[in-house]
Structure 1
Amino acid sequence: MRPDKRQAVLRGALRVFARDGYSRASVDAIAKESEVSTRTLYNHFADKADLFRQVIQASAGEAARDQIAIIERHFHKVTDLQEDLTAFGRAMSAQQGHAEHFALVRQINAELTHIPAEAIEAWQETGPRKVRRELASRLEALGFRDPRRAAVHLMVLTMTGDPSISGSRPDDEDIAAGVRVLLHGHDVEDNRRRKDARARR
């Protein structure tokens, strides 16, 4: 399959999986959306599970690339933890694009037990874990003693809106408050002062 045709199939399959979920999506619907025959699909993908794994892996990789770009931009030079982490949280919360990917993620969460474990692992490793590892490495450099957990907390505190409203996002005040909770809970300023004191000895 030509690279351009393969990309068309992956995009078509993403639209169908994001709309219908894994269980309800059919290979026939995916073939129609991608403008190829079902025979062509089966010639290049072992089955629906294989296609889904490759779709979520490709989609998660693209979303992760853009999120890591935001991390790199905002952690390039941090001078004020509260202010700079708040700006980062706002940028992550306000990011545009990848609507179909995040619709697919919602579908995954809704039918987690029906999706092949290999697909879940591919998604997590290519997307969320990769982003968290990058964020954790930046937080470690800023003095967080448990950067892996801090990365999770930062994402939750600045990207999660009202849990009673599906798909809601936090406002600027919520994000700023989330950063204050993060810094207080992880004692970052105290950690940095102790580190500086040890360095002066």
Structure 2
Amino acid sequence: MRHRNCPDILPPRGHAAKRRSIIDAAAAVFCREGFAGANIDIIAAEAGVSRQTIYNHHGDKDKLFATVLREITERTNERAFAILDTFPDQPDDLEADLVAFALRFNKNCIWGREGTVLRKMLMAEGERYPELYEVWRREGPGKIESALASRLARLAHAGYLDIDDPDIAARQFMALNNAEINMPSMFGRSLSDDELLTAARRAVRTFLRAFGRRTPRADRAQAVQEA
């Protein structure tokens, strides 16, 4: 199956390592052609190396596919954790600061080129490689959500949020943040900055309706209504 909307990850130039060139070319080919349509000759041509070099570095196509998934996941994680370092632990305006954080995450991770390639590969070949999907889920989103959970827990401890289970809150934050942009991303449609901002605002507002701590005035108003 050929996936025409896969973004290319171009091999690095200059003195970049051959190994990186092979991984980037293989990611682009697997995404574009699917596993069945990809072959070592195509990957070697796009990487600018010989097929024997690929066999020497990575073995057969199955092993190369597994390596690509692992390394693209690691790169995506690096970018995600860099964004997590900007999480608003002491927000001046909780909603605005969370929206800005969600937008950074959307632009750099969910909407990023490598993140898109990774999801396309998993969607196309997850049934063939269920064990690799589980590794990706644990080592990719699992680690990111765990780190986000600890940050949300600190906000709850500081009185900004009302959270019983930070892990669930983190998964729901990520799901909401991904909800409006995942399908356009999968099918190659570009979203404008305004569309990404609108999606982030909707995600954060929905999240805060579920987990935002009510002000004392809001609590009193609800008590009056219930009386």
- The answer to whether the 8 A contact 2:76-2:114 is kept is no
Give the superposition deviation at 1:113.
Answer: 0.9
Give the superposition deviation at 1:178.
Answer: 2.1
Q: Which of these residues, 183, 189, 197, is aligned with residue 208 of structure 2?
A: 183
Question: Is 1:145 the equivalent of 2:164?
Answer: yes
**Which one-letter code corresponds to 2:210 in the other structure?**
G
Q: Which of these residues, 28, 52, 68, is aligned with residue 15 of structure 1?
A: 28
| Per-residue deviation, residues 48-98 of structure 1 (Å, max 9, x unmatched) | 121111111111111111121112113343243222211111221222784
Pairwise mapping of residues 116-131 of structure 1 onto structure 2 (< 5 A)?
116-131=129-144
> Which of the pair has the greater relative contact order for Cα pairs under 8 Å at 6+ separation?
1
Pairwise mapping of residues 1-201 of structure 1 onto structure 2 (< 5 A)?
4-95=17-108, 98-114=112-128, 116-143=129-156, 144-161=163-180, 165=184, 166=187, 167=189, 170-186=195-211, 188-189=212-213
Count of paired positions:
188
After superposition, the Cα gap between the structure-2 partners of 1:171 and 1:11, relative to the gap in structure 1 and judged at 3 Å, is closer
Please give the alpha-carbon distance, in whole angstroms, between the structure 2 residues aligned to 1:164 and 1:100.
16
* TM-score (norm: length of structure 1): 0.79
* RMSD, aligned α-carbons: 2.7
Hey, which bits of structure 1, 4+ residues long, moved more than 3 A? 162-171
Structure 1: give runs of 5+ residues left out of the alignment.
Answer: 194-201
* TM-score (norm: length of structure 2): 0.71
- The answer to whether the 8 A contact 2:126-2:132 is kept is no
DSSP 3-state at the match of 1:59: helix
Give the superposition deviation at 1:42.
Answer: 2.1
Greater CA deviation, 121-130 or 8-17?
Answer: 121-130
Question: Aligned residues: percent identity?
Answer: 30
Greater CA deviation, 138-147 or 170-179?
Answer: 170-179
Question: Who is 1:197 aligned against?
Answer: none
> Which has a greater percent of helix?
1
